[in-house]
Amino acid sequence: MPGKSDVWQGTLALMVLKTLETMGPLHGYGIARRIEQTSGDLLSVNYGTLYPALLKLEQEGYISSEWGVSENNRRAKYYSLTRAGRKQIQKEARQWEQTTAIVARFIGTETD
């Protein structure tokens, strides 16, 4: 079985937002595990990339955070999707669909 791939540049924010939309509030470790699980364990989330992405999404107003207690009784920051984040999911999903359609033309797999 091949090794895990890193999350592709430019897709992490959409994966984080979609994960929070689907699962509700989660801490960073939970977000990373869910992304990896959803990918069928084909993707690996680098924490050095995840936490700056979470900070950026919070600064942009797409997620909010609050401190809580994790399943193993440790203090953890939980992230939640905001109303602006829900709108951003739709925008980024459309952009992703356009991008994949363009790339499909280059590799000869478009369905037109």
**pTM for the structure as a whole:** 0.84
Number of domains composing the chain: 1
As to burial, measured by CB atoms within 10 angstroms (0-12 exposed, 13-18 middle, 19+ buried), residue 8 is: exposed
Is position 112 within any domain? no
Is position 73 within any domain? yes
Is position 35 within any domain? yes
The pLDDT profile of the chain, 112 residues, written as one tens digit per residue, is 456 766 666 789 999 999 999 999 999 999 999 999 999 999 999 889 999 999 999 999 999 999 999 889 999 999 999 999 999 999 999 998 998 899 999 998 665 5
Residues contacting residue 80 through CB under 8 Å, at least 6 positions apart: 20, 24, 25, 63, 64, 65, 66
* Domain range enclosing 93: 5-107
Q: What is the CATH number of the domain that holds 55?
A: 1.10.10.10
Are 14 and 79 within 8 A, CB to CB? no
Is position 36 within any domain? yes
